[in-house]
Amino acid sequence: MTKVFVSLALAASLAMPFMAGAQTVPIGTRERVQDIRQNLGEQAKQIRGARENALEERRAAFANQIKATREQFQKDMEAARETAKKALEVKREEAKKAIESIKDERRREIANRINENLTELNTRILERYSENLVQMDKVLSNIVTRVDRAEAMGLAVAPVRTAVASASTSIAAARAAVLAQASKTYMATSTTDATVKADLTAVREALKKDLRAVEATVKSARDAVHAAAVALAQVPRIREIEVKPVPTSTAPSATTTQ
């Protein structure tokens, strides 16, 4: 009996080190690991939050810049139209006196109508161009938002930044062209019975030429915005970020009617 007891005690004493070795993680280590993981998670969350805030501030700054530019453009357009209006009043009186010398009543009516139509046409097309530029601003703003987010994800966006800068420059050039055109007037002021047709044709062709030049700058701006969108689409994983498509509508043609 004593031998059996001694054997059992010896076996138990030999097993104790192996049982103790089975517990490799000291008491409290798991809690410390969990605390570290939680702290790292909080830090990562704070970093993401700071990054999102920075992106939002950048987006807001760009949006405010576009808004300020647009508002200034509207003020400049109003000033240009007022200048053109005053000049047109003077030219209208001159044209009226000249057209009264035309003997044929029907030709006088046609001359007056064409003179007024040219002014209305210039105003209408410039308003259309201005609306196109507003749409381009919106598209470019969406592109910049996606570029900022893509950059935050670690994506290479340098080519897109270059394309965006080029588009911004093209839009500014188009605005300047529209603004310059808004201050111009088109009216035959020294026509006679013998030259009325040639005079009206010359003024109308001058308007068409000028509007085509403005149209070219608007088209160039639209193409530049489209190029920025294409550059953005070529960034890997960019489809993970939502964006609105570039409008495909074309600028109106610079055509005139009698």
Write out pLDDT tens, residues 131-165.
999 999 999 999 998 998 888 888 899 999 999 99
> For residue 240, what is the DSSP state?
G
Residue closest to 109 by CA, chosen among 118, 100, 119: 100
Sequence-distant (6+) residues with CB within 8 A of 207 are 118, 121, 122, 186, 254, 256
pTM score, two decimals?
A: 0.71
Residue closest to 188 by CA, chosen among 117, 250, 131, 243: 117
Written as tens digits, the pLDDT of the chain (258 aa) is 555 444 544 555 544 544 444 455 555 677 777 767 777 777 766 666 666 677 777 777 877 888 888 889 889 999 998 999 899 899 988 888 888 888 888 888 989 999 999 999 999 999 999 999 999 999 999 999 899 888 888 889 999 999 999 999 999 999 999 999 999 999 988 888 888 889 999 999 999 999 999 999 999 999 999 999 999 999 988 877 654 444 444 444 444 443
DSSP symbols for 68-100: HHHHHHHHHHHHHHHHHHHHHHHHHHHHHHHHH
pLDDT of 246 reads: 41
pLDDT of 244 reads: 43
pLDDT of 181 reads: 96
Measured distance CA(246)–CA(62) in Å, rounded: 18
What is the three-class DSSP state of 123?
helix
Direct distance between the N- and C-terminal alpha carbons of the chain, in angstroms, rounded to an integer: 130
pLDDT of 236 reads: 87
| HSE (side-chain half, CA atoms, 13 Å) at 156 | 3
